[in-house]
């Protein structure tokens, strides 16, 4: 995922840009670059690979002094990772950095070619730069507005012009971009950590808004050049949240932050031992009258939604459909004003999820966002919001955000069940209490590092593995499998244990690792039968189970006894 930083002020801009980019490294990238305005010229340097390569190039002579510039870390989408494809793109007149995708770039490229433009990179960004050059006749705002009228897609742009040495222009459509406000200095960034060292104050740029930054001023315009007044935001994270604090990497830090994140999320939502969601706009009357619930999200957040489906359907007996946002928004879903659409997102900015939310609203459904980032686009667009309080999640591979999303799904299910008279107040209090025990259970597991390292050592050389489970165990397996793929690059698939026999079981080979999850008493024996099936074909099974039963087959690689979030469903029977 790409990162954008821009700086205008009195400091050495190169230093600030490199520092800001280093704070965005966690997003993953394959090349980086900066453009700095220096003595009436745009000076650009780019390098494939790590930021260090860019720094080496800069200290090897391509050094330049300036107080205004833009920087970028690129994750290749259009064209391979290379110096040429790295951002910024532009010419002697202007330079741009870009996040997102310009969908109609091929058409624009053809028409620019007819106008005599030539292209050196394979990127869609270069097309935006050349199109801007085409429209630029001395008025940057005019040119940017023209470009926005032609390009389609979701994107965020940071732009500098040679003729405007102390100014950064920024615009966005769907891809997130913030404008940081300092003392005698201002910033643009794709994410807050890039500027936290310098300021906690920032504006959220909206789609089709244009920001003009000088060191002492920030101006916002709409596409008709009208001035827009915006409300300043203050990040409630400190620098510590953006530092690893002794952990090897952010993901590990965030895994260890799960207990506190869950406590912080649940504490304000429990009153007299019962779920209390009034402050989120969810009064009992609103919550009582839905025919159907849809949960829409992407990636990890969608997996938290699958857990939500199982728990809500089990307790509340309302049909719940879980949708991947990028499918939902294009499949013409059947939703009405009698339905509740729950949107889950850590960032609150994921383009497909936001589009799905807008579609649901358009069709008249009530919308509830479960979001981590306060004031994010999804939080502002939804009718009701439950903020998760996971704190800043820097690792792209989500961990603590998933845990708090799951916790909120449970709490919401308890609340819905109570007000729809599906459970008694005593039962609800009992469930809520047990949910509140989860942070200490997680803390205990986090102490079991050696055991987890042992399991990892058994899996590290696998080419492929399967997660199997039923019901909630299957839901949790989906997230386990995604995490494994994302982090270790080992192929894995989560499969409903009972479905294996209908074809997929033929993939099991001698010594193939299979992680079987069996935490629900009611499904335990059924999953054990499936474990026997894969063992008969030579699989090395690692069993995660909270159920104490003599029916566990012998000769398993490892049995992990656990009581974890998913075990909560056992309470529901």
Residues that bind ligand BG6 (CB under 6 A): 298-301, 345-347, 350, 353, 396-398
- Report yes or no: 131 and 116 within 8 Å, Cβ to Cβ: no
Q: Any idea which residue has 């952990």 for tokens?
A: 247
Q: In terms of CB distance, is 478 or 539 closer to ligand BG6?
A: 478
Query: Residue 447: CB partners within 8 Å, gap ≥ 6?
Result: none
Backbone torsion region of residue 466, taken as left when φ is above 0, otherwise alpha when ψ lies between -120 and 50, otherwise beta? beta
Smallest gap, in angstroms, from Cβ of residue 412 to ligand BG6? 17
Min CB(482)–ligand BG6 separation in Å: 8
Q: Where are the alpha helices (DSSP H) in 240-282?
A: 250-256, 258-266
Q: Which is nearer to ligand BG6, 28 or 364 (CB)?
A: 28
Minimum distance of ligand BG6 from residue 345's CB (angstroms): 3
Nearer to ligand BG6, 478 or 512 (CB): 478
- Separation CA 559–CA 563 (nearest Å): 13
Q: How far is the CB of 360 from ligand BG6 (least distance, A)?
A: 15
CB nearer to ligand BG6: pick between 123 and 399? 399
Cα–Cα distance list, 242 to 22, 392, 485, 491 (Å):
11, 7, 25, 30
Helix axes 105-114, 124-135, angle to 10 degrees: 50
The gap from C-alpha 535 to its chain's centroid, in whole angstroms, comes to: 37
DSSP annotation of 88? P
Taking the CA atoms of the chain, what radius of gyration do you get in angstroms? 26
Q: State which residue, 69 or 299, has the beta carbon closest to ligand BG6.
A: 299
**Whole-number minimum distance, CB 236 to ligand BG6, in Å?**
18
For ligand BG6, the closer of residues 133 and 174 by Cβ is 174
How near is the Cβ of 247 to ligand BG6 at its closest, in Å?
18
Q: Can you tell me the distance from the alpha carbon of 522 to that of 403, in angstroms, rounded to the nearest whole number?
A: 24
165: its two tokens: 């040495």
Shortest distance, position 138 Cβ to ligand BG6, whole Å:
40
Residue at token pair 């199982």: 310
Nearer to ligand BG6, 30 or 166 (CB): 30
Smaller CB separation from ligand BG6, 148 or 490: 490
Q: How far is CA 154 from CA 203, 225, 355, 449, 542, in A?
A: 19, 21, 11, 41, 42
The sign of the torsion formed by the CA atoms of 5, 347, 238, 210 equals positive
To ligand BG6, the closest distance from the beta carbon of 233 in angstroms equals 17
Q: For residue 383, what is the DSSP state?
A: S
């Amino acid at each position: 995922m790409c990162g954008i930083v821009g700086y205008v002020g009195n400091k050495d801009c190169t230093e600030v840009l490199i520092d800001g980019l280093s704070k965005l490294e966690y997003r993953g990238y394959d090349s980086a670059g900066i453009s700095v305005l220096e003595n009436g010229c745009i000076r650009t340097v780019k390098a494939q690979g790590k930021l260090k390569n860019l720094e080496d190039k800069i200290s090897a002579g391509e050094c330049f002094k300036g107080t205004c510039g833009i920087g970028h870390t690129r994750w290749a989408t259009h064209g391979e990772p290379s110096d040429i494809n790295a951002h910024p793109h532009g010419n002697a007149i202007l330079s741009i950095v870009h996040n997102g995708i310009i969908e109609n770039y091929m058409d624009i490229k053809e028409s620019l070619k007819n106008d005599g433009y030539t292209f050196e990179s394979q990127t869609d960004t270069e097309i935006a730069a050349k199109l801007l050059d085409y429209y630029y006749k001395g008025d940057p705002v005019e040119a940017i507005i023209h470009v926005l009228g032609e390009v389609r897609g979701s994107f965020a742009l940071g732009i500098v012009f040679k003729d405007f040495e102390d100014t950064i222009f920024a615009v966005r459509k769907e891809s997130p971009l913030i404008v940081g406000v300092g003392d005698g200095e201002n910033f643009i960034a794709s994410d807050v950590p890039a500027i936290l060292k310098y300021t906690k104050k920032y504006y959220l740029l909206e789609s089709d808004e244009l920001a003009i930054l000088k060191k002492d001023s920030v101006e916002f315009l709409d596409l008709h050049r009208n001035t827009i007044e915006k409300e300043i935001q203050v990040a409630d994270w400190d620098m510590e949240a953006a530092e690893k604090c002794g952990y090897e990497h952010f993901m590990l830090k965030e895994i260890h932050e799960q207990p506190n994140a869950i406590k912080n999320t649940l504490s304000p939502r429990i009153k007299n031992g019962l779920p209390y969601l009034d402050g989120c706009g969810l009064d009992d009357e609103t919550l009582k009258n839905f025919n159907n619930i849809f949960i829409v999200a992407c990636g990890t957040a969608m997996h938290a939604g699958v857990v939500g489906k199982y728990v809500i359907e089990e307790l509340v007996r309302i049909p719940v459909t879980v949708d991947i946002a990028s499918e939902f928004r294009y499949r013409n879903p059947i939703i009405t004003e009698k339905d509740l659409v729950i949107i889950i997102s850590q960032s609150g900015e994921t383009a497909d999820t936001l589009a799905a939310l807008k579609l649901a609203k358009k069709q008249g459904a009530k919308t509830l966002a479960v979001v981590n980032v306060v004031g994010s686009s999804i939080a502002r667009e939804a009718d009701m919001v439950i903020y998760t309080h996971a704190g800043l999640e820097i690792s792209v591979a989500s961990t603590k955000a998933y845990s708090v999303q799951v916790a909120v799904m449970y709490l919401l299910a308890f609340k819905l069940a109570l007000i729809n008279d599906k459970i008694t107040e005593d039962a609800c209090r009992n469930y809520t209490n047990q949910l509140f025990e989860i942070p200490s259970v997680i803390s205990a597991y986090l102490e079991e590092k050696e055991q987890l390292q042992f399991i990892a050592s058994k899996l590290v050389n696998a080419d492929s593995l399967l997660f199997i489970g039923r019901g909630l165990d299957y839901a949790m397996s989906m997230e386990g499998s995604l995490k494994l793929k994302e982090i270790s690059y080992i192929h894995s698939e989560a499969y409903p244990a009972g479905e294996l026999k209908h074809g997929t079981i033929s993939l099991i080979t001698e010594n193939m690792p299979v992680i079987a999850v069996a935490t629900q008493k009611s499904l335990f024996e059924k999953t054990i039968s499936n474990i026997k099936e894969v063992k008969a074909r030579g699989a090395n099974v690692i069993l995660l189970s909270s159920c104490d039963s003599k029916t566990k087959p012998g000769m398993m690689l490892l049995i992990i006894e656990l009581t974890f979030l998913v075990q909560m469903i056992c309470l529901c029977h």
